[in-house]
Amino acid sequence: MAAFRIGHGYDVHPFVEGRPLILGGVHLDYPKGLMGHSDADVLIHALCDALLGAAALGDIGTHFPDDDPAFKNINSRYLLRETRKRVLQAGYHIANIDTTLVIQKPKVQSFIAAMRKYLSHDLQIDLNRVSVKATSTEGLGFVGKEEGIAAHAVVLIQKTSTLF
């Protein structure tokens, strides 16, 4: 019997002036970025939480605390690669990921292919096992008021060995 585990991650960051906007590893030309200790890549943070949760390894803040100067302004793609290593060390491989950006502006459809490529590369999984979607909130809530961006991620991991 195969041992599958599902993880869900959620993250949110507010917009702020003076920072670049980075989503899924892609730099977007936008007048505001996201506030955070790292580069504030909300999509990758949600994905890290989903992966760590699926393997019962805690959350992103446990592994990469926001009060640790080593992670100040760090590229979140590094955090994703480190998360992958921890999931593999726990005896799992990544079957697939499904992510959703909850974003009013900017429009990101033209960047999704690049995001998928970066995530596939960093997780070392086939591109056809990586999904990135985007939705708006039709003007509702903090996302609709363009105060920030949220992201969800769902992952499926499988025990590397079927022996328990």
SS3 content of the chain, % helix, strand, coil (to 5): 35, 30, 35
Give one DSSP letter per residue of 56-120, joined into a string. T---HHHHS-TT-GGGTT--HHHHHHHHHHHHHHTTEEEEEEEEEEE-SSS--GGGHHHHHHHHH
Where does the pLDDT of residue 70 fall: very low under 50, low under 70, confident under 90, or very high at 90 and above? confident
Give the domains, in start order, of the chain with CATH numbers.
4-159 (3.30.1330.50)
21-61 pLDDT tens trace? 999 999 999 999 999 999 999 999 999 999 999 999 999 99
Task: Please say whether the beta carbons of 102 and 137 come within 8 A.
Answer: yes
Cα dihedral: 112, 153, 97, 15 (round 10): 30
The predicted structure's pLDDT at residue 164: 44
DSSP structural state of residue 106: S
Burial class (CB in 10 A: 0-12, 13-18, 19+), 53: buried
CA 140/CA 22 separation, integer angstroms:
23
CA dist., res. 7 & res. 56, Å (int) = 9
Dump pLDDT digits (tens) for 126-139: 999 999 999 999 99
Contact 160, 4 (CB under 8 A): no
Q: What is the mean pLDDT of residues 83-87?
A: 98
